[in-house]
Amino acid sequence: RQRNANAGPQRRRGRRDNRNRDGDQNQQEARGKRPVQDNKPMIVSRVISVGKVSNQTAAGKVGSYRALVVCGNRMGAGGFGVGRGDEVKQALNDALRKAERDLVPVDFSPEGSLYHDVVGKHNNIKVLMRSSGNHPRGIKAGKIVRCVLECIGIRHCTSKILTKGKNPYSIVQAVFNALGKHHHPDEFALSRGRKIVRLYT
C-alpha cells in the first residue's frame, strides 16, 4: 500500500499504549471508590517488667527472658499478660498476645472516674483505689498502677499500695482484682431491688 505523502507518520499501538490506557482506567476507578475506614479501637500497651530467668535442667541451666505487658483500648477494656522467650522481643510479643486475648471490661463514669472505692489483693499485695467523684483530680498513683489505669481509660483516680511488697506481677494482678470488684450503679440497684435515687440518698 502507498502512503499519503501529506499524512504524517502513523503511530503504532503496541503494548505500551495498552498499559497506559489500563493504568488510566484503574486510576479513574480508584478515584471513585472511598477508602475503607477501620473503626477498630487502637490497642495501647505498656511494658511493666522485663527480666532474665533460668531453668535448671539435666543439661544445665537454660536461660530465657520473661516480660510483663499491660494493654487496653482506653475505652473501658484492659488486660495483662506474661510471656517468655529466648529473646526479649519474643517475650514481649508473647506477653502482648496474651494480654490482648484476655481483655477485661471495666465500667467507669463519663468523667473518667470510678463509681466507688475498691480494694484488691494478691499474695502479699493489697491495693486501695478511691473514686474522685465529681471532683476531678487526675491520677495519683505509682508507676505500675498509673500504666494500668491509662491503658483502660480511667483519668481520675487515687490509689495506694497498703503493703510493703514491690513485686510488679503481684501489683498488676491486685489492681485487676480490685477492678473486677467494681460495678456499675445499675447493677447494685438491680441486685438490691431498689432505684438508683434511693440507693445513693
Identify the pLDDT of residue 34.
46
- Going residue by residue through the chain, which has 201 residues, state the pLDDT in tens, using 9 for 90 and above: 555 555 555 555 555 555 555 555 555 544 444 444 555 568 899 999 999 998 888 888 888 999 999 999 999 899 999 999 999 999 999 999 999 999 999 988 888 889 889 999 999 999 999 988 777 789 999 999 999 999 999 999 999 999 988 899 999 999 999 999 988 777 767 766 666 555 454
Locate cell 498476645: which residue?
Answer: 97
Identify the pLDDT of residue 35.
45
Q: Residue 65: which of 53, 47, 77 has the closest Cα?
A: 53
- The Cα–Cα gap between 135 and 158 comes to 12
Is residue 136 within 8 Å of residue 150, measured between CB atoms? no
Q: What is the rounded end-to-end Cα distance, in angstroms, of the chain?
A: 104
Residues 6+ apart with CB under 8 A from 17: none
Q: Is 55 left (phi over 0), alpha (psi -120 to 50) or beta?
A: beta
Task: Name the amino acid, one letter, at 57.
Answer: T
Radius of gyration of the chain (CA): 29
Identify the pLDDT of residue 85.
92
Pairing verdict, β 157-161 and 139-140: parallel
User: In this structure, is the dihedral angle defined by the CA atoms of residues 142, 147, 152 and 153, taken in order, positive or negative?
Assistant: positive
Residues 6+ apart with CB under 8 A from 28: none
Is residue 151 within 8 Å of residue 74, measured between CB atoms? yes
- The Cα–Cα gap between 35 and 111 comes to 34
Identify the pLDDT of residue 33.
47
Is residue 160 within 8 Å of residue 142, measured between CB atoms? no
Enumerate long-range contacts of 60-64, CB under 8 Å, 24 or more apart: 64/91
The maximal CA–CA distance of the chain, rounded, in angstroms, is: 105
